[in-house]
Chain A
Amino acid sequence: MSQSDIIAPILSYDDINKRAEDFLREHKRNEILPVNIESIAEFDLGLNIFPFPNLQETFDVEGFISGDLNVIYVDEFIYYQRPARYRFTLAHEIGHYVFHSDLIVSFHPRSVADWSKFILAIDEETYGWLEWQAYSFAAAVLVPRVSLKEYFDNELKLLQSKIDFIRSKGLSVESSRDYIINAIATKLIGIYDVSADVLNKRISKELEKGYLSLE
């Protein structure tokens, strides 16, 4: 396989969300939050998880799935000390497992030098697509759309007095969008056990796509 054979699958945001919903249903994890992604990795997919010392400090890498799709390596500090990041890293790597298995197994470097040359030759755009797909899958699996709508709408109601105040000043709700998203994201951290950043991005994207509304 040459670098030019690496083609990221074409997946829309909605395709990824659909696959994430199916994935949770297949693994019977669509009802209990936070989603137990570690159990899915080990019990359902049979993957091994290995703490990799200084992975992030040395290489700026939080985690990766091995070329034989057998092990998810996670930075040791994240593994022990950052449970939310740990969960997200597992979900992200499972995203590669779900969408990119064919690509990964068809990649057969003959040596470390061969592998290195290959990785360096993958164009940034393709690499970016692969990463975006895995990231979006992780967010969709850990923050499922149906439950997010429910929690978001409830939290939005609790912010109603503040929203009314914003309106009374002649401002649109949209003008306080970032404040509202951040306020709600902060409230939902404990429910989904992901970072505020992941929730902020997830909510923003769902608003952009019209699955959530500030009105």
Chain B
Amino acid sequence: MELRRPSSLAELPASPGDGAVLLAGGTEVVPLIRSGLLHAETLLDVRAVVPRGIDGTRIGAATTLAELESSDEVPDAVREAARLAASPQLRNAGTLAGNLLQATRCWYWRLGRPCRLHGGDECFARTGEHREHAIFANGFCASAHPSDLAAALLALDATVETTARMLPVGELYRLPTTADRRVTTLEPGEAIVRIDVPAPERSVYLKAMDRARWSFPLVGVAAARTGGETRVALAGVAPVPWLLAGGDVDGATPLPRNAWKVDVARALVRRALAAVA
């Protein structure tokens, strides 16, 4: 394995092909490589070339979660999502883009079982232990997306700028299908550069965890009101960050042992809406 430091974004290979992985904080990439779930021939350390820091509504992709946590320029939902994410050490290293792109905590996936996300033809969680898994869009894959910040940005209707295009943050994600098992829409070689987060009138992020800190979202609810419109997005309830249509969870399709998430989500959505009203 090699580690290289490109000196500009233009140096990022247009299509690095197999074996080149972008490295910033490394909090997801390094453990995945060491546990054998991710293979990399080349690590491209992009911390020097990807923007970092907050400039008005634009947040550099390499801004760390710790920087977001201590910023009073970002919307409340972003700051709170960062504050409640991970651990202090992980927040010191982890970047915004890395957090958006992190993989599910589904234990079957993390143990390398040949599930659908790994290219296989079975979702072991659907028939197995799924207490922490998805309650929406879980027919093909029941994994839950763990990013608090993704939910916050989705509620805030943020725009993602990559090396190739601009896109609403919702379009950064896709549900896996038989034909294509990826949960993000980034093309090979495409890197997130910055995210534009329009300032809402009010925003909030509420997070249900099973210990007070350092826990992925059992259910995370972000709400943001701009003018008369309120958007609500959830973490931990679907394979991708989940924009709640109609502001209620009644469309959920829980599995036999995770209906409790619907109750929790319902309560947190109600509270989030009240908080931004």
Same assembly: no
